[in-house]
Amino acid sequence: MKLSQMFLPTRKEVPAEAEAVSHQLMLRAGLIRKVSSGIYCTLPLGYRVLKKIQNIVREEMDRAGAQELLMPTLLPAELFQATGRWEVYGPLMFRLKDRNKRDFLLGPTHEETFTEVVKAEIKSYRQLPINLYQIQNKFRDEIRPRFGVMRSREFIMKDAYSFDKDQEGLDESYLKMHDAYVNIFDRCGLDYIIVDADSGAIGGSNSQEFMVKSEIGEDTVVFCSKCGYAANIEKAECVREFHEDHAEKTLEKIYTPNVRTIEELEKFFEGEASRFVKTLIYKADDKIVAVLVRGDREVNEIKLLNLLGCIEIEMADPETVKKITCAEVGFAGPLGLNIETYADKEVQGMKNFVVGANETGYHYKNVNVNRDFKITKTSDLRNITKEDPCPKCGAAIGIAQGIEVGHIFKLGTKYSKPLECTYIDENGKEQLMIMGCYGIGVNRTMAAIIEQNSDENGIIWPMSVAPYQVIVVPVMAGDETQFKLAQKIYDELDKEGIDVILDDRDERAGVKFKDADLIGIPVRITVGKKASEGIVEFKERSKSDVEEIKEEEVIKRVKNNLRLNNG
């Protein structure tokens, strides 16, 4: 391709709306453009990268024995009503009606659809196991679309579904997908960890996420360097036992005007946050509940959701808090509160702590569980911290941010049961199929690759996913010798099947180099003054050194580089 003819709108300025480096670079390098909040079009250069990632995914899925097909994105509501997910998905699901006022949705994921298709066609144990996948657009009305295509409302997902006769079969299918994912993300040049995860709305008993380490990651991952334990913080269990043995002191009500936050409490009571208990009012579906955690802890909403078995939870709005506690926000406490009260395990072990008094301007001191108030249920409800031990081996843990690029689940009979997806076994008996599901965010993977592979000048594509592998740059477009040689090298590389572009634009060399760096082409061949001697420059985007090589060595050098770096 010749750069002068390409639709490649690059930008010098850093777009104000983009926080994440990958989002900035995707806009600057002309990979994507915003259409609406959380909705993007992928421009030609970006689409080449997407297709390369899709091909890696496809090759590894096929190698693992999965078969590609294509499902519709427009789905009838009945499919999701049968499994209860028409409700479970809540506002995240895009819903619409047809001309006859029948309910439809745009698929956020496809467990139901695949299960129905398999149910209709597969009858015998002889036809199992089977693993089917697609690469297709998904729709989720995210509360906070963020970081460009990292969290968008329409995105491309590779989703696969396995159907087995029994649990052993599922274990095998799951392991195959696990290994395929390792190959995929290795080939994409990503630095990632595999963590135990909560199964969320998709359900099931066992799941793992592939997390790309990155400061902007919206997930927090916990890992133990000693035993290899790794989990999403949503899932990581707090096992530290905590019991204070002090004698219970007399309960006191203290006038605390304008003391609402933990910091203000610390100052007022001259005590550490660990001496206080936070009372948080939550809306769990239609129920209002109170949740107690130590002052310096964070509530783990996933653990809470799982404990309550509800569909959605969120902090109650200030009006509700006022109504429930009869006080301004900041003075909630468990004493005399007429709602179900759930406490973190740690609170159960505390003595003589401070809580809000459910009266504006007042707190209670020397509060004790059971004596002063009752807990509905105690459970592990907080986020693990660096001070906690590894739940598996007790050693110190590390905590980092991660971007979830892939997720694999053992579903069991979660979908085959309600949808009656059965087969006839060796003994002529009807059995439920045992399912697994496996997702990869394709555009998110592209953004994650940029997040881990860039410098101040732009993107540094790993060779395996680079939109073009080589860029040939004649320094002076008007110099016939230079241009002819550049064109010749370009033609030869092209003939060899190498993805190459020729920067034939009538621009200064500085501009061309800047653009080549911004769009991140792994190898640059510069044809300059020594063109007349048949000498050109070879430079890798990821390295600073420039090497002079003979014109006839170019193909060999490029091929060698491709062989070494092509994932």
Give me the residues that bind Mg ion (CB under 5 A), please. 407
Partner touching 155 among Mg ion, ligand ATP, none, CB below 5 to 8 Å by kind:
ligand ATP
**Which residue, 28 or 151, has its beta carbon nearer to ligand ATP?**
151
Tokens for 189, please give them. 């040049």
Q: What is the largest CA-CA distance in the chain?
A: 95
Selected binder of ligand ATP within 34, 151, 363, 365 (CB under 6 A): 151
Q: Is the Cβ of residue 224 or residue 447 nearer to ligand ATP in the bound state? A: 447
Q: Work out how close the CB of 78 gets to Mg ion at its nearest, in angstroms, rounded to a whole number.
A: 25
Q: Does 539 bind ligand ATP (CB under 6 A)?
A: no
Between 8 and 437, name the residue whose CB sits nearer to ligand ATP: 437
Q: Rule CB under 6 A: say whether 180 interacts with ligand ATP.
A: no
Beta carbons within 8 Å of 456's beta carbon, 6+ residues apart: none
Binder of ligand ATP out of 50, 93, 118, 157 (CB under 6 A) = 157
- The full DSSP string for 385-412 is -TTSBPTTT-SB-EEEEEEEEEEEEEEE
| Angstrom distance (rounded) from CA 165 to CA 203 | 19
Residue closest to 186 by CA, chosen among 48, 46, 60: 60
- Contact call for residue 404 and ligand ATP (CB under 6 A): yes
Beta bridge partners of 135: 158
Q: C-beta of 127: minimal distance to Mg ion in Å?
A: 29
Q: Which residues contact 240 (CB under 8 A, 6 or more apart)?
A: 346, 388, 389
Residue nearest to ligand ATP (CB): 441
Least Cβ distance, residue 22 to ligand ATP (angstroms): 12
Helix then strand then coil, in percent of the chain rounded to 5, is: 30, 30, 40
Alpha helices in 212-300 (DSSP H): 262-269
Q: Site for ligand ATP (CB under 6 A): which residue of 80, 155, 483, 513?
A: 155
Rounded Cα gap, residues 216 and 451, in angstroms? 9
Burial class (CB in 10 A: 0-12, 13-18, 19+), 405: buried
Per rule CB under 6 A, is residue 301 in the interface with ligand ATP? no
Q: Considering the complex, what minimum distance in angstroms separates the CB of residue 404 from Mg ion?
A: 6
Q: Which stretch binds ligand ATP (CB under 6 A): 292-300, 337-345, 378-386, 436-444?
A: 436-444
Q: Whole-angstrom Cα distance, residue 307 to residue 304?
A: 5
Work out the number of other CB atoms within 10 angstroms of the CB of residue 256.
22
**Pick from 103, 142, 248, 507: which binds ligand ATP (CB under 6 A)?**
142
Stretch that binds ligand ATP, among 181-189, 261-269, 440-448, 449-457 (CB under 6 A): 440-448
* 214 belongs to the binding site for ligand ATP (CB under 6 A): no
Q: What is the CA radius of gyration of the chain?
A: 29
Verify binding: residue 109, ligand ATP, rule CB under 6 A.
yes
Q: CA-CA distance, 195 to 406, in Å (whole number)?
A: 11
410 belongs to the binding site for ligand ATP (CB under 6 A):
no
What is the distance between the alpha carbons of residues 14 and 24, in angstroms, rounded to a whole number? 6
Distance CA 188, CA 120 (A): 37
Between 159 and 499, name the residue whose CB sits nearer to ligand ATP.
Answer: 159
User: Which residue lies nearer to ligand ATP by CB, 199 or 526?
Assistant: 199
Is 444 near ligand ATP (CB under 6 A)? yes
Whether the ω angle into residue 462 lies within 30 degrees of 0, i.e. cis, is no
152 forms part of the interface with ligand ATP (CB under 6 A): yes
Give the whole-angstrom CA distance, residue 42 versus residue 134: 19
Query: Looking at beta carbons only, is 402 or 474 nearer to ligand ATP?
Result: 402
> Contact between 28 and ligand ATP (CB under 6 A)?
no
Distance CA 161, CA 409 (A): 9
Decide whether 96 or 201 has the Cβ nearer to Mg ion.
201
Quick one: 170 or 405, whose CB is closer to ligand ATP? Answer: 405
Contact 378, 343 (CB under 8 A): yes
CA dihedral 492, 497, 500, 505 (to 10 degrees): 60
Query: Which tokens go with 262?
Result: 């933990």
Q: Which is nearer to Mg ion, 363 or 407 (CB)?
A: 407
**Residue of 52, 140, 294, 303 interacting with ligand ATP (CB under 6 A):** 140
Identify which of residues 295 and 439 has a Cβ nearer to ligand ATP in the complex: 439
Among 28, 407, 512, 541, which residue interacts with ligand ATP (rule: CB under 6 A)?
A: 407
The residue within the footprint of ligand ATP, chosen from 129, 356, 406, 462 (CB under 6 A), is 406
Q: Closest CB to Mg ion among 199 and 360?
A: 199
Q: Per CB under 6 A, which region of 67-75, 300-308, 399-407, 521-529 contacts ligand ATP?
A: 399-407
Stretch that binds ligand ATP, among 270-278, 404-412, 515-523, 529-537 (CB under 6 A): 404-412
Cα separation, 392 vs 449, whole angstroms: 31
Residue 129 CA, distance from chain mean position: 29
Chain positions contacting ligand ATP, by CB under 6 A: 109, 140, 142, 151-152, 155, 157, 200, 202, 404-407, 439, 441, 443-444
